[in-house]
């Protein structure tokens, strides 16, 4: 099989041929039809996250060292089955089934995995991070339960739900917004932020307000269903949001993860509000401690989403309740060019690679 691998962090990916794996036990071999290129791939490629004050979290600190194959938004066709894979009537799959891969896979045997909270597992087998991913022509999946039907959806769009769609949905669920009075501010209308706009109407009853410094992204957010948009680089941006929300938002989701955006997210909250932190841009910020108790604020982190949330996302998408985000396909051989364009902020919506 052919893979485009990270051989050295930050250097161009290299094409490598290797033996196509034979599935064992409950494993399934999927021939990749498309794989999304995600912002978090940039961190995996470059090998580090910025923690502020010059400190860094490296991938080696997380136990991930090259060579490895990125790509966690994988869609493809089942081409080989391990001997223990159940048939379609028993919740399994058969050869020829077209499926999206749920990539956020735990060890499967520890306490949190057994209670379906695999994201909390300390020994993860994430496809495209800790197990070989979809920048390749084949991917091995450990169990049929991680393969999700996407009938009725375009193949190239379906794979984006495994990360950007799922991350957006899970973050929306963590806002705690329940009523029409609970407005939510989405900061950053890149790939994941735009997915949140698109899923927003299915989850949030109040207004969805998008803050982005880029005029093109704001207009794309409006076209995708945002009720209001605000340029968060202007001095009175916080006042504008207080005016729109009648005193402050119930929640803000920071899809960027810079000190400025997190600060903005906290500043627009009303009492008891929640900031959901999603973006991995990096760096650090000071926090006025008294505001936490006086304003009864919550800050919580959100990383991708659970298998149950993935099923909810796919059900919403298949029910036609989610307008599609712009998706463009490029050949797998252009993986390096696409990563560079993504790093330089030149991509609207999502690019998928096709082997
Ligand atoms: Zn991703
Ligand atoms: Zn586990």
CA of 116, nearest ligand number: 2
Q: Rounded to the nearest whole angstrom, what is the distance from the C-alpha of residue 140 to the centroid of ligand 2? A: 18
Q: Rounded to the nearest whole angstrom, what is the distance from the C-alpha of residue 119 to the centroid of ligand 2? A: 8
CB 282 within 8 A of CB 49: yes
Query: 165-301 sits in which CATH class?
Result: alpha beta
Q: Rounded to the nearest whole angstrom, what is the distance from the C-alpha of residue 146 to the centroid of ligand 2? A: 15
Q: Rounded to the nearest whole angstrom, what is the distance from the C-alpha of residue 175 to the centroid of ligand 2? A: 26
Q: Rounded to the nearest whole angstrom, what is the distance from the C-alpha of residue 103 to the centroid of ligand 1? A: 10
Whole-number pLDDT of residue 51: 87
Whole-number pLDDT of residue 323: 74
CB proximity list for 176: less than 8 A, separation 6 or greater: 182, 250, 251, 274, 298
Q: Rounded to the nearest whole angstrom, what is the distance from the C-alpha of residue 185 to the centroid of ligand 1? A: 21
Whole-number pLDDT of residue 321: 84
∠ CA 54-60-65, rounded to 5°: 140
pTM (2 d.p.): 0.91
Q: Rounded to the nearest whole angstrom, what is the distance from the C-alpha of residue 248 to the centroid of ligand 2? A: 39
Whole-number pLDDT of residue 237: 98
CB 184 within 8 A of CB 315: no
The CATH T-level fold of domain 2-163+305-354 is Quinone Oxidoreductase; Chain A, domain 1 (3.90.180)
What are 52's strand-pairing partners? 55
Whole-number pLDDT of residue 247: 96
Task: Give the start-to-end residue ranges of the domains of the chain.
Answer: 2-163+305-354, 165-301
Q: Rounded to the nearest whole angstrom, what is the distance from the C-alpha of residue 109 to the centroid of ligand 2? A: 5
How confident is the chain (355 residues) per 10-residue block, as mean pLDDT? Answer: 95 96 97 94 89 86 90 98 95 97 96 93 94 98 96 94 93 97 96 90 96 95 96 97 98 96 98 96 91 96 96 94 86 97 85 96
């Amino acid at each position: 099989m052919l893979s485009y691998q990270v051989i050295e962090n930050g250097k161009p990916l290299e094409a490598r041929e290797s033996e196509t794996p034979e599935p064992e036990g409950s494993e399934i071999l999927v021939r990749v039809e498309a794989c999304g290129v995600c912002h978090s791939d940039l961190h995996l490629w470059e090998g580090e996250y910025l923690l502020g004050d010059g400190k860094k979290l490296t991938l080696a600190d997380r136990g991930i060292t090259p060579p490895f194959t990125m790509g966690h938004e994988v869609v493809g066709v089942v081409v080989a089955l391990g001997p223990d894979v159940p048939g379609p009537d028993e919740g399994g799959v058969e050869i020829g089934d077209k499926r999206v891969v749920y990539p956020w896979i735990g060890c499967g045997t520890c306490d949190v995995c057994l209670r379906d909270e695999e994201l909390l597992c300390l020994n993860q087998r994430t496809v495209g991070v800790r197990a070989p991913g979809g920048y390749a022509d084949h991917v091995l999946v450990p169990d049929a339960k991680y393969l999700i039907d996407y009938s009725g959806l375009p193949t190239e769009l379906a794979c984006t739900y495994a990360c950007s769609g799922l991350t957006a949905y899970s973050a929306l669920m963590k806002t705690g917004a329940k009523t029409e009075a609970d407005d939510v501010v989405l900061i950053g209308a890149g790939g994941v932020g735009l997915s949140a706009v698109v899923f927003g109407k299915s989850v949030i009853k109040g207004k969805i307000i998008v803050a982005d410094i880029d005029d093109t992204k704001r207009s794309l957010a409006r076209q995708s269903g945002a009720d209001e948009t605000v340029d968060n680089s202007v001095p009175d941006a916080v006042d504008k949001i207080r005016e729109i929300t009648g005193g402050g938002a119930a929640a803000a989701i920071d899809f960027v993860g810079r000190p400025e955006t997190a600060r903005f997210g906290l500043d627009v909250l009303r009492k008891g509000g929640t900031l959901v932190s999603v973006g991995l841009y990096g760096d650090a910020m000071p926090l006025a401690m008294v505001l936490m108790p006086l304003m009864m604020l919550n800050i919580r982190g959100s990383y991708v989403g659970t298998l149950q949330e993935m099923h909810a996302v796919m059900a919403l998408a298949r029910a036609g309740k989610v307008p599609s985000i712009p998706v463009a396909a490029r050949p797998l051989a252009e993986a390096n060019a696409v990563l560079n364009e993504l790093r330089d902020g030149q991509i609207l919506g999502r690019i998928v690679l096709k082997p």
